[in-house]
């Protein structure tokens, strides 16, 4: 009987403390994904998608790209899939930015790893407010 009493007391403690550990681990992993996504975007995307708004821009700023792909009903998975598909095979038919296509031309097919594109797209979906403040 004593073993049963101790089990009843210890079991809820273990369950709740494990839940806290899992939650804090997920937060750390999410922060790392955001950081890596930002770094990858700065390194790979800002070469053409700079945010300075200069006359010699090669492509629209990433904030404008996000605006064309995200609305109130867009899920993160839909957004990430659309960005990956676009980067792997940009076509006029798939373009959601006809004005940018007319101004800059069709984006060349990219050779980035699809996992890197996914990481960038996840960051881009989550961190839209951060995009306007970057000047690269």
Whole-structure pTM value: 0.67
Dist CA 31 CA 38 (whole Å): 11
pLDDT of residue 74: 94
Q: Which of 123, 129, 133 has its CA nearest to residue 31?
A: 123
Domain count, the chain: 1
Q: What is the pLDDT of residues 7-19, one digit of tens each?
A: 444 444 444 444 4
> Length of the chain in residues, anyone?
136
Is residue 65 in some structural domain?
Answer: yes
**Domain of 114: which CATH number?**
1.10.760.10
In a domain, 136, yes or no: no
Instruction: Put residue 25 in one of left, alpha, beta given phi > 0 → left and psi -120 to 50 → alpha.
Output: alpha
95-124 tens-digit pLDDT: 999 999 999 999 998 888 889 999 999 999
Q: How far is CA 87 from the centre of its chain?
A: 14
d(CA 93, CA 50): 25
Q: How far apart are CA 76 and CA 70, in angstroms?
A: 9
Residue 83 belongs to a domain: yes
How many angstroms separate the CA atoms of 103 and 9, rounded? Answer: 68
| Residue range 25-80, pLDDT digits in tens | 444 455 555 558 989 998 889 889 876 666 677 899 888 899 999 999 999 999 99
112: domain range? 2-131
**Residue 49 included in any domain:** yes
- In whole angstroms, give the CA distance from residue 70 to residue 29: 24
The answer as to whether 121 is a domain residue is: yes
- Amino acid 31: pLDDT: 56
Q: CB neighbours of 12 closer than 8 A, spacing ≥ 6?
A: none
Q: Which residue has the tokens 């961190």?
A: 127
DSSP label of 106 = P
């Amino acid at each position: 009987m004593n073993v049963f009493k101790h089990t009843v007391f210890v079991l809820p403690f273990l369950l709740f403390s494990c839940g806290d550990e899992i939650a804090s681990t997920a937060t750390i992993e999410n922060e790392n994904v955001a950081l890596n996504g930002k770094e990858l975007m700065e390194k790979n995307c800002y070469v053409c998608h700079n945010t300075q708004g200069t006359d010699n821009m090669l492509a629209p700023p990433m904030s404008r790209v996000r605006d064309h792909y995200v609305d109130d009903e867009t899920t993160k998975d839909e957004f990430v899939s659309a960005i990956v598909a676009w980067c792997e095979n940009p076509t006029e038919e798939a373009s959601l930015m006809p004005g940018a296509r007319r101004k800059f031309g069709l984006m060349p097919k990219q050779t980035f790893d699809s996992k890197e594109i996914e990481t960038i797209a996840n960051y881009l979906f989550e961190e839209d407010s951060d995009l306007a403040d970057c000047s690269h």
